[in-house]
Structures are given as structure tokens and as C-alpha cells.
Structure 1
Amino acid sequence: MTVSRLSESELLGRIFPRLNRGPDTNAAVLLGPGDDAAIVAAPDGRTVISIDTQVQDQDFRLEWNNGYRTSGYDVGWKAAAQNLSDINAMGARATSLVVSLTMTPATPVAWVEDFADGLTAGLQGLGAGDCAVAGGDLGRGRELAVSVAILGTLDGGDPVLRSGALPGDTVALAGTVGRAAAGLALLESSVPVQSLGPAQRALMDTQCRPHPPLAAGPLARHAGATSMMDISDGLVRDGGRLAEASGQVLNLDPQALKALAVPLLPAAELLGAEPLAWVLGGGEDHGLLATFPAALRLPHGFTAIGSVEAPSPTDSTGVTIAGRPADTVGWDHFAD
């Protein structure tokens, strides 16, 4: 059955029971789905808000070159992951979200139900089970598109911005980098998905269902992180944004980068690729990049990968590797 066979109310009737246990399970949602707008509480007095979009054939394909078929569950999980990661990068905790889903008339109802299941599973599986779906919108279009706006709270603390890195700070990473990029290369390759081994399949799964380290954001804030951001467009590109915002240089350790490339070897050897390029330029793992005072012991889950240095009078801010400029571009939604 396709969505064209159901009314909007009938389709919502299939979606709502799959999303969450109802507004009573989350004190932040005072009024959930059913009215023209949701009502959410802001006990901290401040609201952290972000929005992200996935569009068919731009951010995912229904069928990849290697034969893998993207499920609604994949898209729902990723919608949860990428938005939760943005809240995490501020040192905040997600409390509620609203979802806009645009579908073609031929979209199977089962795909939409699967999407709702994946969204809920992502919230719960990533450790944000108290983040409720407060409402959303369904629309008709020429392609599938999902937008999620997410709200969070700082629980009385201060946000960690991109602009606070200081010379002498340690540059640290929580989560992974490069794995989603390796997974994307496998999806786009001609190697049949059925022939992939467990390690290669795990890399592909990171692209389809990323696991941002949600506990790391608030932990880093409490530990005294001076700056922080989500890595969605690549270590060098996003690191460059943090460096520019802080007016500093992030100098990365080549040995630490090589260690990050080791888990990518199963895909690199199969495809004849350079794994370090994925480490530096690959996004969508949604790892967490942060800086900490050098004397501070890094919080659990963070690994040192470099240091913050003041730019010389003749150099600009940015990312270097062992003191040399890193020229990896990373992901750009409009240039790529």
C-alpha cells in the first residue's frame, strides 16, 4: 500500500503510536501532537535549537550502486542522530523535536512506518530516550525529504561555543571520523553488498545509522572544554571553522590521525583508497571535536589528536598537520 491510498489523518494514525510513549513521559512537552502547534517547557530559561534536512539523492539514495536499499528505518535513525549531535555539540541535552516529512504519492506506507520506528529507535538507542517527538508535518512532493527541528536545554550550565579555543589547549576527539566516508565509498562502489565482510559492513552501517557520542557533550562542558563542535562535514573543514571562530590554528598530530585510519583499512584495501583522506575529509560520523586546557585530564571518551596554536603574523587561522597546512576540502552541500 502506498501513501496515496490513505488520508493524512489515516497516515498520522499509523505514525503517532510508533513515535513515543506520549507527552506525559517527557516533562518538556506540555502539549504534543494533535493541535496546530506543540507547547514545550523551557525550565532553564534558554532553548538550544537546531535543524537539519535529508533529501533523497542528495543525502541518501533509495538504492545505492552496490545494491543496498535504504530503509525508512535508516533515514529515521539518521534524522535522530544528526540532530541530536548538534545539540550535543553545545554541551546541551535534547528535550523535544518536530519532524517534517515530504513524500511522493508512490511511497509505501510500510516505508513511512519504518521511518517512524527508526526515529524512535535512534532517540532511544543513542541515549536520548527522554527526547520526545512533539509534532510535525506531512507533505507531498517529487522526492523524499525529511527535516527535523530539535530543541534542547543547558540544564543551568553555559554553552560551549566554537570560539573559545586558546593557545596551548589540547585538541581532542570523541566518537569516530572517517568511518561514514568509508561506508559511503562502499555504497557507491560496484562491490555487491552481499559480498562485504563484517568489518566492511560495519563501516557502511556507520554511514546509514551513525552513532554520535551523546554523553560526551555535557561531559566535556562540565569538565571545562573551551570550545566544541560536531564533525559533520569532515575533520579539516569543521576544524577550520572552529579555528576561524577562535582565531587560532589547530595543529593535528599525524600519529593520532594514522591511528584513526586503521579501522578504515578493510574498505581502503578493497577499494584501493587512501584511508587518511577519509579521516581528514569525511563527514557524517558526527564525532565531537573539542579543545581543553592542557593541564586538564581529558574526560572519558575523548582522545587527544593535536594542540591549539596561535597563528603567526604571516599565517591565517586554520588546520595544520605537524605544522603544515591541511588542504583536504571536506563536504560542501553546494560545491560537491
Structure 2
Amino acid sequence: MRILPAAEVDAALDDLALIDRLDALFRAGCEMPTRHHHTIAAPNGAGSADATLLLMPAWTRGSSAGPATGRVGIKVVTVFPDNGRRSLPSIYGQYLLLDGATGAPLALLDGTMLTKRRTACASGLASRYLSRPDARRLLVIGTGALAPQLARVHARVRPIEEIVVWGRRPEAAEALAESLASSLPPALGRPVTVRAATDRQQAVAEADIVSCATLSSTPLVEGAWLREGQHLDLVGAFTPRMRESDDRAVQRARIYVDTRAGALKEGGDIVQPLASGAIGEGDVVADLFELCRGERPGRAAGDATSITLFKSVGAALEDLAAAELAVTAR
């Protein structure tokens, strides 16, 4: 059995190749049971927070989207909120890939890096269908581990010329902007201007694509700030209590999700306006299965006026696609 640590997973995955693999597997489909959430009661005694164990299985029977024999995969994630007190990450993840014909273990991959790469590329896949092909200005809201991944993927999918970074802590936004300014132009093979912004409203108004990856419980993007032709990519706010956009934003936009089962149950940007009656389930135009299969329309050619919104909460299919690609890459 191969063991792929974070650096090897990162090196094995090309953004555009992974987007293509995700596209193929969303078209082909796979078995994807509902993710398992298990609470581990305060493992460190009184005064500590409950921990969480997440299990995300998926498998294929073999198709043009993957190996002929199929694969079985499961991601195991632990969330221990008190780990920060011990100078440890709060989240750990591992991914086990098995042979679909025999169940034999094939590889154990670093699940944290796998998750970052597939999450950003799912947004890149959605952008292919939903953002304007001439989008040149990207705003990244958030400065965490996903932010540089999203910046790079969006800049590979569209001809981005300017990237603006906004964060709650200006110094973190400045640091990320400096890092992207030194790393992205060589990686993309073209000049890209990168800067930090302090005026979030102005930055949203000027962007062609707005990509959010935060743990915010209050909206960071207001519908009143949006203009025609924009694409809004909402990656954070992965629980019903979190949200990155307000009701007006989802009302003005054509809404798309990675999976209906996940986003309509877990993503606060969809769950909260559904609960308040601001939108109905029928306002969700399509998920990635329907987009990739051509069953529902994305942005029409020449459409420079529609506002599109993509809400992602993650899917086990995405992990499986990324793991398959990582173990077959040379």
C-alpha cells in the first residue's frame, strides 16, 4: 500500500487535470452515502469542547471517469476544537483508497491536503460553467489555508489579471497578498497584480469573481453590493449556523450548489434563506451533477448580466476523484 503525505498529494495533483476528473465523475456519478457525523463527548474532561468524527465514503463500479474495476474510498476526519491550546491543528484527515474488485488497500493519502485541493478545484469546475469567460478581477475573502488554493485555481480557469485579498485582520491579508504576488505569476506564466484591500464593499463591487472561504456566522457579501455579471463562490460557512452572503444576495443570483443533498441541509447560505422564506428550493437552478451532464443550464454564452452564486459544502465524490488522480499521477 502506498502512503502519500501532504507534499506528495500536492505535487501529484494538477489543478486543470483535477477539474477535468471532477467533471467526468460528476457526469458518471458514484455511490455516495450520507456523511457520518459522530460526536465525541468532551474527551479532555470538564471545560473542554465536544469533538467530532466525520466519515465520508464513496465508491465507483468502474467507468470512463475512473479505473475499469472501480475504487472504494473513505475519508476520516477528526475535529478537536481544543487542540489550539496544545498548539495542534483542530482538524486532522486521512483518506484510504481501496481496490473496488477486492477491497485490498491501495493507498493512504493525507486527507487535509486532499480536501484543500479538491475543494478549490470544485470551485474551479463551477466557475467553468458559471463565471464569465472574460473575468479578470478576483476578490478572495478570507486568509486561511483555502484562500491561496482558490486564488490559484480561479486564475487558472479564467484570465485573471488582478487579485484582491480581504481579511478581518489587515496584516493577514497583506501577508497573503505578498505571498501570492511572489508565487502566482511564475505558476501562471503571466503577470498578475495582487493587493490587499480594507474596503470590503468596494472590493466586492469591483470584482468579476468573489470567492469566500471563511467561518463567518454573519454575511460578508451583501446583495446590494453586487453588480450584473458577477460570479459569487461561497466555500466556507459549512454549517447551518454560518453564512457568507445575505438574503438579498441569494435572491438576486441564479443559485447553484455542489450537491443538493449537502447544500440544502448543511450550508447556511442556503439553509437560512430557505428557512426564512427568502428563497425556495425551486430557486436552486442546478447542482454539479446536473451542470456537468448538461441537464440544467449554466451561464449562457454572451450572458454578461446574470449574477451566479455557487455554494459548496463538499462531497465524498470529490475526495474519491482526487485520490484516484493522485495515485495514478506520474
Give TM-score scaled by structure 1 length. Answer: 0.25
**Larger relative contact order (CA 8 Å, sep ≥ 6):** 1
